[in-house]
Amino acid sequence: TLASGDARLYEAAATLGASRWRSFRQVTLPASRYGLMISWIVVFVLVVTDFGVPKVIGGNTAMLATDIYKQVIGQQNLSMGAVVAMLLLVPAGLAFAAERHLRARQAATMGVRSVPLVPQPHAPLDRALFAYCALVALALLAVMGKAVLASLVSYWPYNLTLTFKNYRFDMMDGGGWASYGNSLSMALATAVLG
């Protein structure tokens, strides 16, 4: 979105004496409104359809994706699982349609005579934002590292000895490594065919 900004608008704002903040409020934000809305929709769809995070972190918190799992796998109630899946599919489908509409509107805003914006480097701000992004990346890596460590611990947080017994999926419900292979092959097929 920001890469498709029209440099002529920023030049006009600077010529008229607009400050950087006013230029951001009156040029950058309106020009990137479709991109912002698209990103909100993408995040909404990812969050509303997510299964792993509510299952691992949420515990007994009721979420649609975990309810589908409980109905289909836990209780073998396929019809109720299908109903709950439809409840999950409707907002995801509406969000997908809205995203497609906004993407078409965003493509229409870029005119033929637009001049692509080439941002000028601003060393102190660039360093500060790099440091911020590095901190966020380190925090995300710490969370992932904690998950890897927890997967290797015998019984978190009581017995912290490291072991690979948690990776013996053949001893668990659902078919062990076969279900993992099925999930990977279905995801690969969906990526290729989709």
Instruction: Could you list the beta-strand ranges (E) of the chain.
Output: 153-155, 159-162
Instruction: Single out the residue of 137, 143, 38 nearest to residue 95, CA to CA.
Output: 38
pLDDT tens, residue order, the chain (194 aa): 777 777 888 888 888 999 989 988 988 888 888 888 888 888 877 777 776 666 666 666 667 777 777 778 888 878 877 887 787 778 888 888 888 888 887 776 666 567 777 778 899 999 999 999 999 999 999 988 888 888 888 887 788 899 888 777 666 655 566 766 776 777 778 778 86
Entry pTM = 0.52
Cα 179 to Cα 183: distance, rounded to the nearest angstrom: 6
